[in-house]
């Protein structure tokens, strides 16, 4: 499994220390910075991925195109002093997902442009996700169709990399049993683990599709297969990893030299479960909403501290601002959160799917966030208040590991999540 680290980083010396690699799927600058700080302290590489919804050829919901995302993450790395050669960028769920309401050929044409932009920008790892049906497709696509579309996108990426004059070609992730990005929208009852035979068949049909397009050299750089290890989360609960349920699936890797499993929706798993997943062959662990969930917890805890220290007319009122903006602009949550008004109110803030993450870049929310941090930078945050609202950060403060500045507290809270992944990937 350690070979995956070398194939991604090009540094064989890292194999002695790492059995896997975690992937931070976020475009929030503070999540990215916290992750970079974690990797800097660990002397490890860092894989940061943008999704096809966040970053695309039109700007995505972040307003960034792939080349913009490269500059964005690279700029944070430079500020922190993190070596660029240890920074890896990936594209997650790249395919027709954003345009699946269109006829397949039109959606795939847009996916071609998406992949071309990512590859030309120098993204090292590309997850080819063509598993979704488009407007004129049957409800479930045959594996052969998924594979052929993925091979088509791989060909686009290879050509774009060559035209851009890039020395390194990307590595690829494939698979047909791909979890829904961002967690399940409906209440989960059970999650079925991928059948071993299904995993082998998926690799076989993709291999044939690559061969038909003359992509044999690119197939050698298919390093991972997305499978379902039985982990997922919905709005209010987490399906925990059970190592015993994947023993047969893990043995499939014996027949797939050079490949590992990539695990999506691992957010909120226990630290010991993340370690077990790496041992069982899930050497690429993806985390997304779990990191921004921790960010929201930090900001709202700081808002509670602000309430204790500042007069009402001086406060940021960030909780109220976030709630008002989400109600005024419901597109990012309304079709996902159901139930009574009370239930929807709770979900807007506390859902594991963390759809509040789409609102941190909103001008009013960003201004309230800036005011919150500014307010707390100008006052003395007493450690007994930190104990009340951020107890883990209180312990770190007392041990001299962090200071009492609001940004130090925020980074520490996010690193609680990232640090568990980092520990799981170390031997």
pLDDT tens digits, 275-307? 999 999 999 999 999 999 999 999 999 999 999
Q: What is the DSSP letter of 336?
A: T
Q: At what angle do helices 289-309 and 318-328 cross, to 10 degrees?
A: 130
Higher pLDDT, 189 or 30: 30
**Of the candidates 289, 356, 286, 350, the residue with the CA atom closest to the CA atom of residue 321:** 356
Q: Mean of the pLDDT values across residues 97-115?
A: 98
Query: Position of tokens 């890292």?
Result: 14
pLDDT tens digits, 245-270? 999 999 999 999 999 999 999 999 99
Q: Which residues contact 123 (CB under 8 A, 6 or more apart)?
A: 66, 70, 89, 90, 91, 170
pLDDT at 180: 58
pLDDT band at 119 (very low <50, low <70, confident <90, very high): very high
pLDDT of 2 above 70:
no
pLDDT at 4: 67
State how far the alpha carbon of 321 is from the alpha carbons of 160, 326, 347, 359, in Å: 43, 9, 16, 10
Instruction: Return the CA Rg of the chain.
Output: 22
Cα angle value 247/248/252 (rounded, 5°): 115
d(CA 379, CA 152): 57
DSSP secondary structure of 86-128: GEEEEEEEESSGGGTTS-HHHHHHHHHHHHHHHHHTT-SEEEE
**Domain coordinates of the chain in residue numbers?**
3-287, 292-413
pLDDT at 150: 98
Which residues face 128 on adjacent strands? 94
pLDDT of 123 above 90:
yes
d(CA 357, CA 146): 30
CATH superfamily of domain region 292-413? putative tagatose 6-phosphate kinase domain like (1.10.400.20)
pLDDT at 8: 72
Cα dihedral 250→89→182→346 (10° resolution) = 130
Task: Report, at the CATH architecture level, how domain 3-287 is classified.
Answer: Alpha-Beta Barrel (3.20)
d(CA 338, CA 247): 37
Q: Mean of the pLDDT values across residues 80-96?
A: 97
Cα angle value 257/118/104 (rounded, 5°): 85
**Of the candidates 329, 325, 332, the residue with the CA atom closest to the CA atom of residue 354:** 332
| % of the chain with per-residue pLDDT over 90 | 92
């Amino acid at each position: 499994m350690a070979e995956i680290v070398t194939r991604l980083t090009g540094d064989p010396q890292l194999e002695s220390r790492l059995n896997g690699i975690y992937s931070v799927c976020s475009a929030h600058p503070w999540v990215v910075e916290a992750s970079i700080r974690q990797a800097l302290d660990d002397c490890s590489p860092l894989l940061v991925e943008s999704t096809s919804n966040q970053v695309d050829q039109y700007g995505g919901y972040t307003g960034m195109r792939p080349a913009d995302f490269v500059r964005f993450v690279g700029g944070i790395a430079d500020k922190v002093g993190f070596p660029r050669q240890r920074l890896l960028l990936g594209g997650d769920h790249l395919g027709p997902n954003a345009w699946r309401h269109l006829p397949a050929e039109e959606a795939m044409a847009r996916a071609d442009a998406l992949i071309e932009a990512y590859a030309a920008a120098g993204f090292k790892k590309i997850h080819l996700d063509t598993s979704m049906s488009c407007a004129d497709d049957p409800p479930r696509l045959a594996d052969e169709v998924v594979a052929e579309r993925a091979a088509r996108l791989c060909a686009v990426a290879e050509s774009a990399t060559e035209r851009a004059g890039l020395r390194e070609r990307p590595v690829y992730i494939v698979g047909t049993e791909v979890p829904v990005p961002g967690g399940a929208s409906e209440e989960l009852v059970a999650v079925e683990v991928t059948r071993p035979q299904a995993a082998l068949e998926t690799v076989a049909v993709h291999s044939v599709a690559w061969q038909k397009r003359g992509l044999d050299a690119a197939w050698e750089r298919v390093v991972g297969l997305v499978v379902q290890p039985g982990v997922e989360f919905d709005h209010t609960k987490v399906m925990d990893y059970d190592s015993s349920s994947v023993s047969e699936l893990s043995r499939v890797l014996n027949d797939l030299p050079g490949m590992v499993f990539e695990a999506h929706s691992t957010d909120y798993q226990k630290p010991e479960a993340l370690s077990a997943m790496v041992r069982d062959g899930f050497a690429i662990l993806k985390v997304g909403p779990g990191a921004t969930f921790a960010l929201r917890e930090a900001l709202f805890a700081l808002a509670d501290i602000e309430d204790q220290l500042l007069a009402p007319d001086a406060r940021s009122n960030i909780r109220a601002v976030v709630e008002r903006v989400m109600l005024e602009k419901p597109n990012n949550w309304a079709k996902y959160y159901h139930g009574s008004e009370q239930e929807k109110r709770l979900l807007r803030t506390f859902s594991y799917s963390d759809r509040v993450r789409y609102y941190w870049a909103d001008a009013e929310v960003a201004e309230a966030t800036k005011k919150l941090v500014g307010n707390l930078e100008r006052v003395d945050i007493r450690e007994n208040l930190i104990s009340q609202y951020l107890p883990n950060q209180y312990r770190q403060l007392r041990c001299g590991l962090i200071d009492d500045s609001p940004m130090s507290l925020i980074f520490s809270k996010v690193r609680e999540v990232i640090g568990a992944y980092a520990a799981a990937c170390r031997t």
